[in-house]
Amino acid sequence: MAKSKTSKKWMEEHVNDPYVKKAQQDGYRSRASYKLIEINQKDQLFKAGQTVMDLGSAPGGWSQIVAPVVGEQGTVIASDILPMDSILGVNFVQGDFTDEAVYEQILSKLDGKKADTVISDMAPNLSGVNTADQYSSMYLVELALDMARNVLKPNGNFCAKVFQGVGYDEYLKDVKSSFSKVVIRKPDASRPRSREVYIVAKGYKA
């Protein structure tokens, strides 16, 4: 079956992408690692000894960045529907966290503690139908925000990938209602033509 022009263009872009090459050289599982590195440099979302939850973690590009920073005294709890190869210092739970059993498993990893930071790089499986994809992605970030509200300690942080489009403004307003400081980041590693941005929220009003 012939590849569509879009997937062929994506493949060419991917192969020639400097961040893809850099990730291979640096031993990161995903070019997305550089997005989180830049965001954390600007916003100090997590530091040594903290508890961080990574939603939509596979293949592990973000957990790879968080684990060495929080160190042995810290905790990283990662979750995804897809499998993820293990990472030193990361507790991984595979499954859909809207499923109660999976959700309870994630909470048990917190061991009665609250999280300092919740990060989410979740994205739906894209269908190519823009409206449907936008609704799917907004649904995922709403779930991530619900999780953050349930597990964050007072003054905790939240960072989530959001696609600009239908529902974006309302979502931003919703995040602002729960956090004292909210900024939008578009990291250098985020492709310019992509509608993705990262909402960075600090100071959870528990």
Instruction: Identify which of 159, 160, 173 has the alpha carbon closest to the alpha carbon of residue 202.
Output: 159
Catalytic, out of 35, 161, 176, 205: 161
Q: Which of 174, 190, 104 is nearest to 142 (CA)?
A: 174
Is residue 161 annotated as a catalytic residue, yes or no?
Answer: yes
Q: Report the catalytic residues.
A: 161
